[in-house]
Amino acid sequence: MPSTLRLAPAVILGKATAVASRALRLGGGTTMPGRVARAIAPDIMQRLAVRLPQGCVVVTGTNGKTTTSRLIHHILRLAGVSSVHNRAGANLAAGIVTALVQHTDWRGRPHGKIGIFEVDEATLPAVWDPLQPRAVVLTNLFRDQLDRYGEIDLVAGRWRAVLDGRPPGDTAVVFNADDPLVSEVGGRFAGTTVPFGINDVSCGTGTLEHAADSRYCYRCGVPYEYTVVYFGHMGDYRCPQCGTRRPAPLVAAEGVQLAGIQGSAFTVRTPAGAAQVRTVLPGVYNIHNVLAAAACCLQLRVPLETVAHGVETFAPAFGRAERVRVDGREAVLLLTKNPAGFNEVLRTVVRATGPAAGVVLIAINDLTADGRDISWLWDVDFEMLAGHVRSLVVSGIRADDMALRLKHAGMSGSVMTIDGDLGHAWDAALHAARNGEPVYVLPTYTAMLQLRKILQQRGLVKGFWEE
Amino acid sequence: MELRICHLYPDLLNLYGDRGNLMALVHRAQWRGIDVRVDEARLGASPASGAHDLYFMGGGEDRQQHLAAADLRERKREALLDAAGRGAVVLAVCGGYQLLGHYYRSAEGEELIGLGLLDVTTEHPGPQTRRLIGNMVVRSAWLGGRTLVGFENHGGRTRLGPNARPLGTVVTGFGNNGEDRTEGAVSRNVYGTYLHGPLLPKNPALTDYLLTLALRSRHGPVALASLDDSLELAAHSAALVRATSRV
């Protein structure tokens, strides 16, 4: 059968797979439909993507992909643009095709006007040509799951290979100016580039933390000099040897006021003017996510007022500062994936609890999606929790490793409870919380899915594919 | 009693939670009332010969390893040769281990000359070959046959010369080269290994053994008081189970 004839069967079988996988309770069906559809029509991604009247947008990087792409989706919806979006976060090629198949009717007509795809950082080269994105958002590069992705220089190398020598075309590259490695890569693009970043020294933490990765100039190998470090290796940097410095952000945050777990308020300055925004997303890292989404949407010609309104009304993605209420108590789920992200989450928890020490549940798994190598726990600055935690429950497949890390961070055994069973650990943490006091839940990716499944069985949250 | 540690390239070779090794050494000495001084020797610095009892070097990405290799030969060679000669402890993990050998040949065929403190050579067979990645369990004759647990992730294949002994025999995992079931190398008090995870926190017997050797090089024979190792041993057991499970 010629491949042109295979599109309809591929779409139909893909859709059937999604229905079947849910009926059989195999999970959310967020990748299998795509695998089936690609097996029938290998070029299906390109053929469905080209039918999206307003093209598509790709978001990639180590941290912030899900939140940023959901923000873009939300803002575009307010702007009256419906979208096809891999919102459950399945971000390899199969996940993208699944989203396309599910939002296409059996004759191959898409239900949305634009595609919004979060893409695994290593997968970017493979999807660029089929998707021909109008905007590519590069969020940041941190060490993350070294056993899976390899070293961040390898990922940066792949991005370089896809950007170098590419004709300008009508793609815009939106990149994080505060990340020296991402800036170096993004700045190579010959077409339109939109750097975004924070212009506010009050967000600084003073020194490069241990987990900082890209501290040496890519060209010279000498350490960057920072006038301000926001977190990880994010900041305002300059190479003393070759003079490479942070590009001036076109979309910038100024006058930042952090309100702990409640979020932050700041001014977004853009070529189209400035707007004051408030977001419920906590922490400095989420300011980058807001800027990335704002820069992308402005590039898609969404008016600044709509962007600002979208930021204000956005509710977080599952497990990203999601709040769950149980019997008058509240749990805040903060997904943790890598040292830089974990440090930001810890900083946010410490700011929120202040001198009144709180209750924290940490759940560490080492399945493939988490990264099988858990040595990264030793790059996280758990030391900052000391004095801010009254009760600490440790769970997950690698609970014992986590407990040992906390022992070396100065946490005493009297504060810690170790229970590998996540349901029991959840009960213990909620039990330790006083009325009105939130429990901070810090799970790795599969631990979060596992916990959500438990909470779903107890009727406390919805399935993630239902959102 | 004071233990003097020199941490080589703390900000350059610090992949895979390497600083956990420093924490284990420092804390397990301090928990026994031993004073600890840690000096950092970064790019460009030359530590004074004879000033330290234990030298630690971690791993890095190719680019960082490249930066470290030349500096190691030009600025640190003297202090490390002196240390090896007088019986101070040198411990290097992954990329650092490769640089203690004679040379490391990268995937692109470029050769980094090492210090030759360990009689080993390392070659990366090329970009198309698989990295050796996964949980690893090693049985070590140096610790009376006890197990060492950790995680390995390396492209280079290391071969031992006649003057190096392996740190242990691979029970699960790849080890030096995925073929001869050896892991790591030891030459007098110089130790190299691919085990991270990090290595020392959940292998307390090895940590204490290295502390004893390091203290002995300056203070003569010492006996370390025992500690409550219940969390360490639980993490060790959990890693043993993980390394042999299929999920």
> What is the tens place of the pLDDT at every residue in B145-197?
999 999 999 999 999 999 999 999 999 999 999 999 999 999 999 999 999 98
Rounded Cα–Cα distance for residues A77 and A103 (Å): 15
For residue A168, give the CATH number of its domain. 3.40.1190.10
Chain B residues lying within 8 Å of A398, measured CB to CB: 238, 242
Return the SS3 of A334.
Answer: strand
Is residue A329 in a domain? yes
B-contacting residues of A 150-169, CB under 8 Å?
A: 150-153
Can you tell me the distance from the alpha carbon of B156 to that of B158, in angstroms, rounded to the nearest whole number?
6
What integer pLDDT is reported at residue B22 of this predicted model?
97
Q: Report the C-alpha gap between B60 and B18 in whole angstroms.
A: 10
pLDDT > 90: what percent of chain A?
A: 52
Q: How far is B195 from chain A (nearest CA, A)?
A: 11
Q: With contacts defined as CB-CB under 8 Å, which chain B residues touch A366?
A: 242
Place of tokens 């906390």: A406
Does domain B2-244 fall into CATH 3.40.50.880?
Answer: yes
| Structural domain count of chain A | 2
User: Which of A313, A345, A365 is the C-terminal boundary of a domain?
Assistant: A313
Q: Are residues A442 and A334 in the same domain?
A: yes
- Residues sharing a CB contact under 8 Å with residue B145, sequence separation 6 or more, in sequence order: B139
Candidate from A152-161, A178-187, B2-11 with smallest mean pLDDT? A152-161
**Nearest CA among A143, A55, A154, A48 for reference residue A104:** A48
Task: Please tell me chain B's helix, strand, coil percentages from 3-state DSSP, rounded to the nearest 5.
Answer: 30, 30, 40
Q: Do A338 and A242 fall within a single domain? A: no
Could you tell me if A136 and A178 lie in one domain?
yes
Identify the band that residue B86 occupies on the pLDDT scale cut at 50, 70 and 90. very high
pLDDT digits (tens, 9 = 90+) for A237-262: 999 999 999 999 999 999 999 887 77
The answer to whether residue A34 sits within a structural domain is: no
Which A-chain residues 218-257 have CB contacts (< 8 A) with chain B?
Answer: 221, 223
pLDDT (tens digit per residue) in A15-74: 877 777 766 655 557 788 888 888 888 888 888 888 999 999 999 999 999 999 999 999
* Within a domain: A16: no
Residue ranges making up the domain that contains A291: 55-92+111-313
Chain B residue at shortest CA distance from A378:
B17
CA distances from B201 to A48, A95, B69, B149 (A): 51, 39, 27, 10
A102 in a structural domain: no
Cβ distance of A408 and B20 shorter than 8 Å? yes
Judge whether A31 lies within some domain.
no
**Interior/surface letters A4-14, b for 16+ CB within 10 angstroms, e for the rest:** eebbeebbebb
Among the partner-chain residues B67, B134, B232, the one whose CB lies closest to the CB of A221 is B67
Q: Are A260 and A280 in contact (CB under 8 A)?
A: no
In a domain, A24, yes or no: no
Please check whether residues A344 and A296 belong to one and the same domain: no
The rounded Cα A425 to chain-centroid distance in angstroms is 26
Chain B residues in contact with A155 by the CB 8 A cut-off are: none
Q: Is the residue at A333 inside a domain?
A: yes
Q: What is the CATH number of the domain that holds A449?
A: 3.90.190.20
Residue B179, burial from CB neighbour count under 10 angstroms (0-12, 13-18, 19+): exposed
How far apart are the CA of B54 and the nearest CA of chain A, in angstroms? 20
pLDDT at position A466 is 45
Residues 6+ apart with CB under 8 A from A425: A361, A363, A393, A394, A395, A417, A419
Q: What is the pLDDT of residue A381?
A: 93
Q: How many CB atoms lie within 10 A of CB B230?
A: 13
Q: Find the mean pLDDT for residues B64-72.
A: 91
Residue with tokens 């210090």: B115
What single string gives the DSSP state of each residue in A99-122? HHHHTB-TTS-BSSSEEEEEE-TT
The reported pTM is 0.77
Quick one: A239 and A332 in the same domain?
A: no
Which pLDDT belongs to residue A212?
A: 66
| Exposed/middle/buried for residue A189 (C-beta within 10 Å: 0-12, 13-18, 19+) | buried
Comparing C-alpha atoms, which of B208, B168, B212, B205 is closest to residue B186?
Answer: B168
Q: What is the CA radius of gyration of chain A?
A: 22
Strand partners, A258: A264
Q: Residue A4: inside a domain, yes or no? A: no
Claim to verify: residue A303 and residue A334 sit in the same structural domain = no
Q: What is the mean pLDDT of residues B137-145?
A: 92
Closest approach of chain A CAs to the CA of B45, in angstroms?
14
Q: Are residues A60 and A201 in the same domain?
A: yes
Top-confidence range, A79-88, A355-364, B123-132, B178-187:
B178-187
Q: Are residues A263 and A120 in the same domain?
A: yes
Is A56 labelled a binding residue?
A: no
Whether A220 has a binding-site annotation, put simply, is: yes
Cα A414 to Cα A394: distance, rounded to the nearest angstrom: 13
Is A133:A169 a contact under the CB 8 Å cutoff? no
Selection from A381, A438, A392 nearest residue A415 by Cα:
A392
Q: CA A394, CA A410: separation in Å to the nearest integer?
A: 15
| Kind plus residue range of the DSSP H or E element containing B146 | strand B146-154
Averaged pLDDT, A7-16: 80
* Average pLDDT for chain B: 94
* Domain termination residue (choose one: A313, A338, A355): A313
Q: Do B235 and A373 touch (CB under 8 A)?
A: no
What is the mean predicted confidence (pLDDT) over A286-309? Answer: 97
Look at residues A267, A294, A313 and tell me which one is the last residue of a structural domain.
Answer: A313
Query: Could you tell me if A363 and A380 lie in one domain?
Result: yes
DSSP secondary structure string, A253-271? Answer: EEEEEE-GGG-EEEEEEET
Query: Mean of the pLDDT values across residues A336-359?
Result: 84
- Give the count of Cβ contacts less than 8 A between chain A and B: 93
Q: Can you name the residues that pair with B3 across neighbouring β-strands? A: B36
Q: How far is CA B65 from CA B21, B37, B76, B174, in A?
A: 19, 26, 14, 22
**Domain chopping of chain B, boundaries:** 2-244
Q: What is the pLDDT of residue A324?
A: 84
pLDDT single digits (tens) B197-246: 899 999 999 999 999 999 999 999 999 999 999 999 999 999 999 998 86
The reply, when asked if residue A242 is annotated as ligand binding, is yes
| Least confidently predicted of A13-17, A113-117, A348-352, A391-395 | A13-17
Rounded average pLDDT over A99-123: 88
Q: Are residues A344 and A446 in the same domain?
A: yes
pLDDT of res. A467? 44
Q: Are strands A439-443 and A329-334 parallel, antiparallel or unpaired?
A: parallel
- The complex's ipTM works out to 0.96
Query: In this structure, are A227 and A252 located in the same domain?
Result: yes
Which of A:394-413 have CB within 8 Å of B? 397-401, 403-405, 407-408, 413
**Residues of B with a known catalytic role:** 94, 196
- How many angstroms separate the CA atoms of A265 and A258, rounded? 7
Min Cα–Cα distance to chain A from B231, Å: 6
Q: Are residues A298 and A325 in the same domain?
A: no
